[in-house]
Each structure stands twice: as structure tokens, then as C-alpha cells.
Amino acid sequence: MNNGYKSVLIKERTTELFVFLFLIIPSILLSFFFISRGPELFSFIAVQTILRDLGLLFLVLFFIWRNNEKFSDIGLYFKGAGLEALIGALLFFPVSLSASVLQQVLTYIGIQAPINQTSLIFEREGLYQLVLAVFLVTVVAITEETIFRGYLINRFKVFTNSSSASVFFSTTIFAIGHGYQGTSGIIVVGYLGFIFALVYLWRRSLVAPMIMHFMQNFLGIIINYYLLK
């Protein structure tokens, strides 16, 4: 690849990155002003989140297709998906336990505890709410891993020429996007995002991080609700 073409490529990818960030950063900043008004909002929030995340996912896929890139370049590589899923499932337990310990340490030292997401579930008990919740955590796991681990790490690496910097920037944006969970929540989510990024860079596939992300949300949102109600 000659220097002229490489320079143009970097410029195009950088422009694309900033356009994408321009689209997602407003919603990320608004998360700091999110105040739960009660469980009656769950359906609205769930549907809104699903539609937003799917829209961003399709935008990322369009960018990759338009640039004649391979989807495997951002970790959408499903060969050996069974093994990757098993790795994700096995890693989930120590990672989730360490995140729980981190949360307890933060609470002990007086850092603001995260908002209890189970307060958003459910408007009314029933199959509809359960199916919607499962669909929500599935979509979020797939879309957020594709966006924050696959796409943004790839693009930030082009911009910074550094894997460490790309992980830092993508993880920071991911964590800030959970501002509605408070200071403690941002720190714990940032920790989880960092681990997901390391697993992605290790495996070069998003399957394991997706599984870990799904299990974390399923446990934190759905299972906790039934245990604590």
C-alpha cells in the first residue's frame, strides 16, 4: 500500500469515525440526565433502546460494506462459534465475580452506587415483559459489542495507530454511555468493557464478548428481578 493511498484511507476512516461519534455522543451525554420515573417506562425504554441500537448496528455494517472491508475485520467471524461461545460462558463467571467485588469495594469507600436496573422491570408481570426483556439484553449484547469492541476499536486504531489507545477510547465511550448508573456504575461498566475488549483482541472474534455481555445483562436485569422481587 503506497503512502498516498494509505493517507487517503486514514482520512476517510477518521472522517467516518467522527461522523459516527457525532451520531452516538448526544445520546450518550443524555444518559447522565436519565431519571427513572418508575417501572411503567420499561416498555418504552426497551423498544427505544432496541431500535436505536439496531439502527447503529446497520449503520456500522453499511460502513463496512461500503468500504469493501470484511465483516471479520471487526470481529464478526463465526467460524468456530461454538468454541468461542464456550470460552465466553466460562470467562463470564470469574469476570462477573470480580466486577461484583469491585462494586462492593466502591460502595465501601462511599462512591455513588449504581441505579438498580431491576426497578425498570416490569410494568406488569407476564410473558410479554419477559420476552421483551430477553430480546432487549440479546440485542444490546450483539449491537454494543459490534459497535464498541469491533467497530470503534478498529477505527480508533486507524486514527491512533495504537491498540492500547483504541481500547481506552472505545471503553471510555462505552462507560460514559452508562452514566445513568451513577459514578460506581460507570466504573464497573468501564471495567467490564475493558475485559470484553481484551477478550476480543485475544480471540479476534466478537462471539465470546457477546456471550459474556449477554450473560451479565441477563443476570443483572432479569435474574436479579426474580430474585429480589
pLDDT score for 227:
64
Integer Cα distance of 27 and 104 in angstroms: 29
Strand, helix or coil for residue 110: coil
Task: Give dist(CA 112, CA 125) in Å, integer.
Answer: 30
What CA–CA distances, in Å, run from 96 to 74, 213, 216? 25, 10, 7
- Above 70 in pLDDT, residue 40? no
**To the nearest 5 percent, what fractions of the chain are helix, strand and coil?**
85, 0, 15
Question: What is the pLDDT confidence band of residue 38, given thresholds at 50, 70 and 90?
Answer: very low
Among 55, 116, 72, 95, smallest CA distance to 211 is for 95
Domain count, the chain: 1
In angstroms, rounded to a whole number, what is the distance separating the alpha carbons of residues 104 and 15?
A: 41
Q: Which domain holds residue 75?
A: 3-228
Average pLDDT of the segment spanning 107-121: 68
Portion of the chain with pLDDT greater than 90, in percent: 55
What contacts 207, CB < 8 A, 6 or more positions away?
A: 77, 78, 81, 84, 85, 88
Residue 12 grid coordinates: 476517510
> Where does the pLDDT of residue 188 fall: very low under 50, low under 70, confident under 90, or very high at 90 and above?
very high
Instruction: Taking the CA atoms of 192, 218, 146 and 39 in sequence, report the sign of the dihedral they define.
Output: negative
Given a cut of 80, whether residue 144 has pLDDT beyond it is: yes
Q: Which residue has the higher pLDDT, 159 or 149?
A: 149
Whether the pLDDT of residue 64 is over 80: the answer is: yes
pLDDT band at 35 (very low <50, low <70, confident <90, very high): very low
157: its cell numbers: 486504531
Residue 58: per-residue pLDDT: 94
pLDDT at position 37 is 47
- Each residue of 65-101: pLDDT tens digit? 999 999 999 999 888 999 999 999 999 999 999 999 9
Average pLDDT, the chain: 86
Average pLDDT (15-29) is 84
Residue 40 backbone phi and psi in degrees, to 5: -65, -15
| Residue 104 CA: distances (Å) to CA of 107, 112, 207, 216 | 5, 11, 29, 17
